Amino acid sequence: MTEAAALLAAEGAENPLFPQAYELVVGSFAFLVVFLVVGKILTPRIQKTLAERTEAIEGGIKKAEDAQAEAQRTLEQYRAQLAEARQEAARLREEAREQGAQIKAELREEAQAEARRLVEAAHAQIEADRQQAFAQLQGEIGRLSTELASRIVGESLEDEARQRRIVDRFLEELEGRPEAVR
């Protein structure tokens, strides 16, 4: 053996590389106790708890994901509803505009018709007035003409029948040239 071993032997010390039997026994016993208590009893407990925790966290994440998905769905729904409402509003606005335009057109149509009617009525009135005036004038002119003629030719035209015929002829001549009347 080496010098150190010889020295150890001289000091009466054990070689540190040779195990003491009683220490082997104590070491085995200590290891066994620790293995039974820490390894067999306690480690499985913490393993179980850690597994449960993982599960709980995963469950929580799942729940959060579900809630998020639900929220997303609701949001989509609201958006769809909003879009629908907007579309509806746009449609109503369009409809109202169309209706307004239609009403305006109708009113214009009506007003134009009314105007036309008024114009026509006025025309008719005027025509009637003209006719009336013309009829009045007819008599007046006849009388005045007779009077004038009698003044000119004297009493010869006193005879009623002749007078009438003359006047009629005169009037027919007048009617034969309508442009002169107008």
Partner 1 sequence: MTPLVLVAGDEFQAPGPSIFNFPPLYEGAPAWLTKPVIFAVVGALLVCAFAWSAFAKPQLVPRGMQNIGEKGYEFVRDQVARPFLGKDAERWMPLLMSLFFLILLWNLFGVVPLIQIPIASHIAFPIVFAVVIYALRIYLGIKHQGPIGYFKNMMFPPGLPKPIYLLLSPIEFLSNMIIAPFTHAVRLFANMFAGHMLLAFFSSVGFWFLFERLTPLGSGLGVLGAVMTIAMTGFEMFIEFLQAFLFTLLAAMYIGGALHADH
Q: Which residues in this chain contact partner 1 in the complex, by CB under 8 A?
A: 4, 7-8, 11, 13-14, 16-20, 22-31, 33-35, 37-40, 42-50, 52-53, 56
Token duo for residue 79: 């958006």
Determine how many CB atoms are found less than 10 A away from the CB of residue 99: 10
Q: Tell me how far, at minimum, the Cβ of 23 lies from partner 1, in Å.
A: 3
C-beta of 50: minimal distance to partner 1 in Å?
7
Q: Between 49 and 132, whose beta carbon lies closer to partner 1?
A: 49
User: Would you say 34 or 121 has its CB closer to partner 1?
Assistant: 34
* Identity of the amino acid at 25: V
Q: How many residues would you count in the chain? A: 182
CB of 58 to partner 1, least distance (A): 13
Nearer to partner 1, 53 or 79 (CB): 53
Distance of CA 57 to the CA centre of its chain: 46
CB-nearer residue toward partner 1: 10 or 180: 10
Report the candidate in 180, 176, 169 with the shortest Cα–Cα distance to residue 142.
Answer: 169
What is the nearest approach in angstroms of partner 1 to the Cβ of residue 48? Answer: 8
35 vs 78, beta carbon nearer partner 1 = 35
Task: Dihedral sign for Cα 135, 137, 140, 142, please.
Answer: negative
In the complex, what is the shortest distance from the CB of residue 4 to partner 1, in angstroms, rounded to a whole number? 7
